[in-house]
Structure 1
Amino acid sequence: MLQLLSLRRCDLHSIRPRNQAGNYGTRRVPAQRVYAAALAEPIAPAVQTLMTKVTGAEEARQAILDAVSGAKGRGKSGISSEAVDSLEEAVQILEDKGGIQAPTNSALLEGRWRLLFTTRPGSASPIQRTFTGVDAFTVYQEILLNTAGGARVNNIVDFGGRIGQLKVEAEANTVSRPLPGFTPRKGKGLPLFGKSESTPPSSPEVRIDFQFDRAAFDLAALPFKIPYPVPFKLLGDETKGWLDITYLSPDGQFRLSRGNKGTLFVLVRDPSPRERLLQAVERGAGDDEVQAAIEVLQDQGSPVPKPARSAQVFGRWRLRWSKQSGNANPLQKLGGNSGRSWQTIRQDGTVENRSVIIPGLLTLRADATCETASADRTAVDISIVYFDIGPIKLPFKLPRKDDRPPAYVDWLYLDNDLRITQGSRGSLFVHTREELE
């Protein structure tokens, strides 16, 4: 029975036959055949039926996500033998079919990835087994191929916003982005750090060689980072490893990787703070969730410095979300909640706000002028408001400026296609750029 359990939980790496060149090749022995040979009996009909349904890349991807959904500790436990069967067959299908060719040269590999599942061979290092097996932590991997200082691969253990994170960073080497003077790892290494392999990649464009060079705890309660107590410079080859991108989906949202310790990794792209905000707005998330996403994006800083002085503010912007303050004027509340509101800012300093209240029947328009008040603030003066009722245009003049408190807009975030602003009365707005007609 112990032998059976060990075989059923074996690392996928160990059941892939090598070709004469020592590579893993394109053909793999299905896990079910290995199990069936060991048990001297056929695969269970239910499992076999499940496998025959998984034939395409999308089905295989979904089968993997379904299989690991119940796993605890990212594969440490909680996954049934049937789910293991489904997982291994689906992984084989994806790696055979292939995704993005030459993934280490693809922009789709860039960014932050969240670890969903990993196998745990005996060759894995104690550190890897410890941190990846705790559900209370979130484990990420950053792949940064186009940074000014060279390509990097960073592993991040997130303990939660109130605690902080551990970030282990490495220099990276690829065929298209060679690291000067870098020598790939050789030998199996010290048992303490896990047994390593030196198998050549199936293609040079799938492998990232790396060398860890720094690590630190970044704790929320402390204003400084605490270095991770590992003497990287003294460990030589023990700080080196490699990662093969064995499958990268065409949409860049899902990947499979295998490491030099014989481990399979299943990862999904972690949305950037910008993507999280837009996703929350798109699905109509509650105000608290949207505001939390705005705060995270704000913490990163605006990509456009001194936004109020930038030419990026000009153009037509569509209102995607707003939270009106209690003292916002009734017309602003009416337009902000219509769901069909646009603002056009012209280079001559004129502004047009247009909100479709009832399509084809009632539109609210407001003409204004604006001027830069500071690097982050634009002063606004609304001069006249129109109610367009069908073909009839009813103007409504506002009180003179001297009789009204000065209005302004603060630019909290600005990039080429997204802006976050806050009005002088505290209302918060998210706009996306639209092309002028």
Structure 2
Amino acid sequence: MQTCAALTVSAPRSGTLRLSSRSTKSRNAEQVILECLQGVKGRGKSGMTPELLEKFDAAVLELERAGGIQAPTASPQLEGRWKLLFTTRPGTASPIQRTFTGVESFVVYQEILLSGEQGARVYNIVKFGRLGELKAEAEAITDSQPMEGFTPRKGPGIALFGKSSVNTPAAPDLRIDFQFDRAAFDFKLLPFKVPYPVPFKLLGDETKGWLDITYLSADGTFRLSRGNKGTLFVLTKDPPAKQRLLSAIANGDDEAVLAIAEELAADCPESKPATSGAAEGKWRLRWSAQAEDANFLQKKLSGQLRNYQIIGGSAGRGRLENLVELGVGIRVRALAACEPSTSARTSVYIDELRLEVGGLRLPFPIKLDRPGNPGYVDWLYLDEDLRITRGNKGSIFVHTRERDEQ
């Protein structure tokens, strides 16, 4: 998948919002649904009292009547990763759907991409905690994204796989027709993916289905959908991992930061981060988890507001500089030689450490041959704006690129 160390494209035309007096009612109905789902187990109706179920069904009806964004399948608000909160599982649902959506320990997502190099795609993803995930992939079409030669599902199908409705969509740009073409388990302990044992090419119509978007909120964060087998889905937009990471840092949620950092590390966009030109530049430290045996200065200075690492560029090719600004004109600067030792590791040899007060440079005496020098940095994640690294003592660092020199 990648060699980092382990740890949307807009639709062609935008949907428009139905402006009416129901906007406030819709927001209230969304909140009612979320409150009703707080005690639900396994993403089903178990755990709902009759009173809650009545409120839930009324709120769903209210939203589906309101509709939210018109032509939702033509709106870029539909794209992205959605987290499944709730699903009805009628007798028409397939055994696979009833199994995976009903297990509380699994997290279920749906990713929708309406345009791109591969065309419109839908991805259903089941995450098994730290073990890995199952991803089922489907090609898709909408009224605004047709595909030549694609034939939507016809007929109710085989009972074993769940009976399908033959209803036509209530209006244009409400339905996504799809056909699953591959699926695989991706276990983190294995260096390869395990194909899901379904002969998609032999099943014909049974690999096809459709999803009607019966409600899409104005801000694109809340969705109701109904599938071809009569299932109701309640989903909320899952923000991109980078956004969730920075939010967790801002909220001081260290446990969430580490979990999201691990998620990002599993999908590093740079195949050889240590040798990538994207590694160079000025990076600002946003968060760190210091190892117990990290050095004294590292522990004390890691929480400073202006803590930077500069690689190459102004620091010089093959050079690395750690810069901490303690106050106006007061800085601690560590200078080092650096070079890639593997595709995901940079060796660091500190050769100078000094305190700067105004124009004065006060060197710290350091032993160049001390244990831990040279050290190294493992690149867990790297893109143009964000990097996550691990030092040789086990400390974890999150940096964002500093675009403007200060």
TM-score (norm 1): 0.73
C-alpha displacement of 1:431: 0.7
- Would you say 1:337 and 2:303 are equivalent positions? yes
What letter matches 2:285 in structure 1?
Answer: L
- Would you say 1:304 and 2:273 are equivalent positions? no
After superposition, residues 149-228 of structure 1 pair within 5 angstroms as 149-162=118-131, 165-217=133-185, 228=196
- The root-mean-square deviation of aligned C-alpha atoms, in Å, is 3.5
What letter matches 2:228 in structure 1?
Answer: N
Larger Rg: 1
Percentage identity across paired residues of the two chains: 56
8 Å contact from structure 2 (residues 347, 374) kept in 1: no
Q: 1:396 to 1:222 in 2, by over 3 A?
A: closer
C-alpha distance in 1, partners of 2:271/2:192? 26
1:204 is paired with a residue whose SS is coil
- Larger helix fraction of residues: 1
C-alpha displacement of 1:397: 1.0
Q: 1:262 to 1:334 in 2, by over 3 A?
A: same
C-alpha distance in 2, partners of 1:96/1:378? 61
Runs ≥4 residues deviating over 6 A? 220-224
Match of 1:317 in 2: 283
Match of 1:11 in 2: none
1:84 is paired with a residue whose SS is helix
Equivalences, count: 379
Q: Give deviations 1:269-309, integer Å, cap 9, x for gaps.
A: 345544443343232223x55444333322223x2343344
C-alpha displacement of 1:256: 1.4
- Would you say 1:64 and 2:30 are equivalent positions? no
C-alpha distance in 2, partners of 1:95/1:312? 46
Q: 1:367 to 1:157 in 2, by over 3 A?
A: closer
TM-score (norm 2): 0.78
C-alpha distance in 2, partners of 1:148/1:393? 55
Match of 1:281 in 2: 249
Match of 2:5 in 1: none
C-alpha distance in 2, partners of 1:68/1:240? 30
Match of 1:256 in 2: 224
Q: 1:320 to 1:116 in 2, by over 3 A?
A: same
What letter matches 2:157 in structure 1?
Answer: G
Q: Give deviations 1:389-426, integer Å, cap 9, x for gaps.
A: xxx56532144785563355443321111111233444
Q: Which runs of 5+ in 2 are unaligned?
A: 1-17
Q: Give deviations 1:150-208, integer Å, cap 9, x for gaps.
A: 3332333444434x554433221223433331111222333443332233334433321
C-alpha displacement of 1:107: 4.2
Match of 1:233 in 2: 201
Match of 2:332 among 356, 359, 365: 365
Match of 2:85 in 1: 116
After superposition, residues 394-409 of structure 1 pair within 5 angstroms as 394-399=360-365, 405-409=373-377
For CA contacts below 8 A with separation 6 or more, give which structure has more relative contact order. Answer: 2
8 Å contact from structure 2 (residues 315, 321) kept in 1: no
